Amino acid sequence: MGTVVALDFETSDRWADSACALGLTRIENGVIVGELYRLIRPPRSRVYFTEIHGLTWDMLKDEPTFAELWPQFSAFMQGAELLVAHNASFDRRVLCGSCSFYGLTPPCLPFACTVKGARRGLGLAHNRLNDVCAHLGIELEHHHAMSDARAAAKIYLHLRSIGLSDADMMLK
C-alpha cells in the first residue's frame, strides 16, 4: 500500500462548488501520518446545511476561499496514488466542482469509496458512515469534516486488512 489520502467535504448548499470545510487524512504504507482541516469561505453567503454540520456564514465569511487554500490542499495530496472517501461520488463531485469554479485543475487520481467497500466486505444492514463506525468501534463526530475523513481512512485500512483491494472499492 502506497500513499492514500482520505477526504471529506462539508458543503453550504446543493451546488458542487459550495465546499465550506475539508478534512484530509494522509496514509503512507498503511499508517495514518498526517491530517489537515480547514474551514472554507463558500462562494455564496447562504448556508443551507447548518443543521447538519453546524457551520454558519458568520463562521465562514472570513475564512479563505477554496482557491486560496488550494496550494495547501494540493501539497497535502502530493504523491498520493489514491483518494478515498465514504460516499466518494459526493466528495469527488465537490472537489471537481470547487476546482472548476475557481479555474483550478483537480488532481488526476482515482477515487475509492468506503461505502462500496463496506457493502462488499462487512455485510451490514446499513452502510452510512455512522453505522460503519459504530460496527468497527471507530470514534466519530459525524459531519465534522476532519472526523469524517479520519473515519474514512480507518475504514479503508480495515477493509484492506480483511482482504478487500482498491479495485473492490474503486469508483468508475
Model confidence pLDDT, tens digit, residues 127-140: 999 999 999 999 99
What pLDDT score does 129 carry? 97
Taking only the tens place, the pLDDT of each residue in 139-161 is 999 999 999 999 999 999 999 99
Looking at every residue in the chain, the average pLDDT score rounds to 96
Which residues neighbour 100 within 8 Å (Cβ) at sequence distance 6 or greater? 16, 17, 106
All domains in the chain, ordered by first residue: 3-169 (3.30.420.10)
The amino acid at 107:
P
What integer pLDDT is reported at residue 163 of this predicted model? Answer: 96
Cα separation of 86 and 129, whole Å? 7
Short-list 82, 76, 75, 89, CA closest to 110: 82
